[in-house]
Amino acid sequence: MPAAPAREPGQPSPGSGASPQALPWLELSEITVPGRGRPRLDRVSLAIASGERVALLGPSGAGKSSLLAVANGQLQPSAGSLRWLGAPPARSERARRRQQARIGTLWQDLWLIEELSVQQNLNSARLAAWGWPRALLNLLWPLDTAANRESLAQVDLGAELLGQPVSALSGGQRQRVAIARLLRQDPELLLADEPLASLDPRLAAELLDLLLNQVTPRRALLLSLHRPDLLAGFDRAIGLRQGQVLFDQPARSLAAADLAALYDGELPGSGP
């Protein structure tokens, strides 16, 4: 049987639901971010299409968080280019915020506001769309209860939590509220930075399923994780080591030798 043709970067995996003709939602080209001693990112290039589920693997300190921060426009690289749907970040802050409103990021520390209610935290995802007058009104009188109930239902939480302060929630409930806030934003690109860290295996599997199930033909997911055993639901796996891409291939084709090189091996040319 002839070998399958090589897939160009940013082209979706077969069965991912993404359109092969569409522009990549996210495209990084030769991205470099300086660091102490060595770059945090060193000439990183990758592309992700709508409909793809992409896992970002690598040891601690590999540059995964820096890559996600560049991807959502929070971190400015010293070299290279970033494009969202073929367009660079806009020069004007207002236009750039409109672009970034289509990107949702779930950070490892969740960035929930402890003193505010679950409802107010969910509504914080709409601030870019609302503007300041409605945002201030939300602090006094929380808005959009029906939409927030729907977001909580998507992560298997009940509406009785809407009035609860985040500080009163369990760790698992906080994780789910953070995902519900992400869904409330209705982004087209989902970025998640080690969302399964410090979770027990059952809860980690449940939350991963929640995130994987949010991918649609118009929505992509890039998720960093430490556990290669959780790759089954992903289309692609990107291995990052010492700020460099070591591999970018279909997740199903990832071999033990690839993981050994990622977590234990040396980079090409790094030896004596």
Please give the pLDDT value at position 154: 87
pLDDT at 125: 80
Nearest to 205 by CA among 215, 196, 213: 196
How high is the pLDDT of residue 142? 62
The greatest distance separating any two alpha carbons of the chain, rounded to the nearest whole angstrom, comes to 66
Neighbours of 10 (CB within 10 A): 19
pLDDT at residue number 221: 98
CB 233 within 8 A of CB 212: yes
Low-confidence ranges of the chain (pLDDT < 50): 1-21, 268-269, 271-272
Structural domains in the chain plus CATH codes: 22-102+187-272 (3.40.50.300), 111-186 (no CATH)
- Other Cβ atoms within 10 Å of 89 Cβ, number: 14
Identify the pLDDT of residue 217: 94
pLDDT at 92: 94
Q: For CA atoms 167, 168, 172, 178, give the dihedral sign.
A: negative
What is the bridge-based pairing of β-strands 220-225 and 189-193?
Answer: parallel
By C-alpha distance, which of 183, 208, 210, 214 is closest to 195?
A: 208
